[in-house]
Structures are given as structure tokens and as C-alpha cells.
């Protein structure tokens, strides 16, 4: 029925704050602005597209709550990515990347609204 995820939707309370996070911390670029609270972002590789819309009420999600999150594949080693995000002030939810398979590591971080993002990569 479906062949791929074409775009991830992120609904934020503070549009400008979330936009800065996805651009300055995660390295996305603005593909197109569609109004004062809406834009499409694209990863440097062009493979990940995010629809970002602001003006929503907060809905806090705890680490153990059921939710939808998404994985971002690291272009650097997962340890370099972890250190870069820590330096950038990202809210990291692990003390270090965790090994989940042969040379496969993951860690979680949260965006400004607490939406969980899974980072995945090689050691």
C-alpha cells in the first residue's frame, strides 16, 4: 500500500525555537517557508524531510510513554554525533550511546517540545 515515509510532521509550541533547533543543532535547512508558523525542512543529504508547524499546545511525553519517534542516521561516528549534540546544548537522554548490535549504537534526545528523536550510527 505505502512505499516510503515522504515527510515527518513535527508540531511545536514555539515555532521559532523549534526551527532554530532543527537548523542549528540538527543541521537541517529550510526548504520552503509557508507562513509565519509553517515550513518544510530538509536534511543536508536531502533524504529526510520535516514538516514543522508551530502554535500547538504542549503535550509532555515521558521516556516510557507510548509515542511515535523517528531515527536519524548519523553521518559521523555515533560518538562524534553525541559529543556534537552535547556541545550544542541538546537535551540528551542517555549518558552515552548504547550498543544494540554489531557496531550499531543508538541514543535518544529530545527536541524543545520533548519530542523524542533516536540517533543511530556506527561506533
Q: What pLDDT digit, counting tens, does each position of 28-74 carry?
A: 999 999 999 999 999 999 999 999 999 999 887 676 777 778 889 99
Cell numbers 557496531: residue: 103
Residue 19: the pLDDT is 98
Q: Is the pLDDT of residue 86 over 90?
A: yes
> In Å, how far are 35, 96, 116, 121 from 18, measured between CA atoms?
15, 24, 13, 24
Residue 7: the pLDDT is 93
Domain count, the chain: 2
Domain match, 1 and 27 both: yes
Residue 68: the pLDDT is 79
Is the CB of residue 73 less than 8 Å from the CB of residue 104? no
Domain match, 33 and 75 both: no
Residue 102: the pLDDT is 93
Domain match, 52 and 77 both: no
Mean predicted lDDT score pLDDT of the chain: 92
Let me know the angle formed at the C-alpha of 42 by 76 and 77, rounded to the nearest 5 degrees: 5
Residue 37: the pLDDT is 96
Q: Is 63 inside a domain boundary?
A: no
Q: Is the pLDDT of residue 18 over 80?
A: yes
Q: What is the domain range of residue 117?
A: 69-123
Share of the chain above pLDDT 90, in %: 78
Domain match, 2 and 51 both: yes
Q: Is 90 inside a domain boundary?
A: yes
Amino acid at each position: 500500500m505505502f512505499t516510503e515515509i515522504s515527510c515527518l510532521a513535527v508540531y511545536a509550541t514555539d515555532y521559532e525555537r523549534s526551527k532554530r533547533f532543527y537548523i542549528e543543532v540538527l543541521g537541517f535547512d529550510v526548504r520552503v517557508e509557508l507562513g509565519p508558523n509553517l515550513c518544510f525542512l530538509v536534511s543536508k543529504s536531502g533524504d529526510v524531510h520535516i514538516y514543522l508547524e508551530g502554535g500547538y499546545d504542549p503535550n509532555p511525553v515521558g521516556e516510557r510513554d507510548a509515542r511515535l519517534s523517528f531515527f536519524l542516521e548519523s553521518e559521523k561516528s555515533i560518538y562524534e554525533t553525541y559529543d556534537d549534540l552535547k556541545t550544542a546544548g541538546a537535551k540528551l537522554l542517555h549518558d552515552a550511546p548504547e550498543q544494540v548490535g554489531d557496531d550499531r549504537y543508538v541514543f535518544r534526545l529530545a527536541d524543545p517540545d520533548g519530542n523524542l528523536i533516536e540517533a543511530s550510527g556506527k561506533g
